[in-house]
Amino acid sequence: MHARNPLADLLALGRPLIMGILNVTPDSFSDGGRFLDPSSAIDQARRMIAQGADILDLGAESSRPYGGPVAVPLEEEIRRLTPVLPAAAALGTPVSIDTMKAKVADWAIASGAVIINDVWGLQREDAMARVAARQGAPVIIMHNREHADPSLDIMAEIAGFFTRSLEIAANAGLPRQHIVLDPGIGFGKTPEQSMIAIARLRELESFGLPILVGASRKRFIAKISPAPPDQRLGGSLAAHVMAAANGAAIIRTHDVAETVQALRVAAAIAAVQ
C-alpha cells in the first residue's frame, strides 16, 4: 500500500476545497461533448486550475441522475481517459477519477489519478474498496439509489447507506482517514430531498469525515427557478454557499471561477460578523 493521502494537506487549508468537473463524455447532462477532444479537455483543465480548482474530477462515463446514463464498456471508458488523464495529472493539481468500475479506478490510479470518486459508494462493485486500499487512494463515497422514494426520511437513508459503505471500506482495509462522504445531490432523490440534504448537512458530521457537495446545475435548481442546465449558475452558487456554511469541506462544480468568488465573499462576510 502506498502511504499517501493527497487530500490531507488540502483539507488542512481550513477552507472549502474546489473540485472542478471535467467530463470527457458525449452525454453528460450539462457539458456532454464539450471536452471529448483531448486538447479541449486539457485546455479546460488548465483553465480550471488557473481559476482556483484544488482538485480536477475526471470522468469518462456519464452518471446522469436524470434521463438515464448510457453504460460505457470498460475498454471505451479507458480509451476516452488515456489521452487526457496522464496529461491532466502532469499539470500538478490532484486528479480524482469519477468512475463506477474498479478496473477503471485501478488503471486511473496507476496512470496519475490520486483519488477515487465512486458514485455508488463502494456498493456497486465489490472490488472497488479493495482497489482503493491496495493503491492507498482516498475515496469519495457518494450516496445513491436506483430510484427516488418521496416517502423516505432521506437523511436516515443517507446515514444508513454511509454506515454500510464504511463497513465495506473497513473490511477491505481502507483507512477511515482516506474517506470523504458525499450525500449525492440529485441522485436517487426528489428535488425536495436534495434540498433537505443540503439544509441538514451537519447531521452527517456525526461520521467525523469530510463532506463533499456537488449541486452544480442539478435539476432541483430548475424546480425552484426553471432553467436549462447551462443557465443554473445562480442556483448552483446559492446551493454551494449554503453547503459550505453547513459544513461542506469540498464543493464539486462546473463553474470554478464563479464558485471560488462566491465562497470567498461569503467567508469574508461571515468573518466580520
**For position 26, what pLDDT does the model report?**
76
Residue-wise pLDDT for 32-85, tens only, equals 456 668 999 999 999 999 999 999 999 998 775 545 556 889 999 999 999 999
* CA–CA separation, 82 and 92 (whole Å): 17
d(CA 18, CA 16): 7
Helix (H) or strand (E) holding 174: none
Q: pLDDT confidence of 159, banded at 50, 70, 90?
A: very high
> Which three cell numbers, joined as nine digits, stand for 181?
462522504
pLDDT digits (tens, 9 = 90+) for 113-131: 999 999 999 999 999 999 9
5-9, 135-139, 204-208, 269-273 — which is least confidently predicted? 5-9
pLDDT of residue 269: 97
Q: What distance in Å separates the CA atoms of residue 201 and residue 182, rounded to the nearest whole number?
A: 10
- Grid coordinates representing 252 are 464539486
What's the whole-model pTM score?
Answer: 0.93
Mean pLDDT (the chain, rounded): 93
At 94-105, the pLDDT tens digits run: 999 999 999 999
Question: Does residue 28 have a pLDDT over 90?
Answer: no
At residue 25 the predicted structure's pLDDT band, cuts being 50, 70 and 90, is confident
Q: Specify the CATH number of the domain 6-271.
A: 3.20.20.20
Active site residues: 218, 252
The average pLDDT across 213-237 equals: 97
- When mean pLDDT is compared across 6-20, 140-154, 171-185, 203-217, the lowest value belongs to 6-20
Q: What is the pLDDT of residue 32?
A: 47
Grid cell for residue 196 = 433537505
Residue 218 gets which letter from DSSP? -
Rg (CA), the chain: 17
Starting at the edge strand that comes first in sequence, how are the strands of the sheet with 139-142 ordered? 179-182, 139-142, 115-118, 95-98, 55-59, 17-23, 250-253, 212-213
Helix then strand then coil, in percent of the chain rounded to 5, is 45, 15, 40
- Note whether 48 and 22 are within 8 A (CB): yes
Q: What confidence score (pLDDT) does residue 231 get?
A: 96
Percent of the chain with pLDDT over 90: 86
Phi-psi region of 67 (alpha: psi -120 to 50; beta: other; left: phi over 0): left
Q: Residue 6's pLDDT band (boundaries 50, 70, 90)?
A: confident
pLDDT at residue 198 above 60?
Answer: yes
Across residues 16-29, what is the average pLDDT? 84
pLDDT at 3 over 70: no
Percent of the chain with pLDDT over 70: 92
Q: Is 80 helix (H, G, I), strand (E, B) or coil?
A: helix
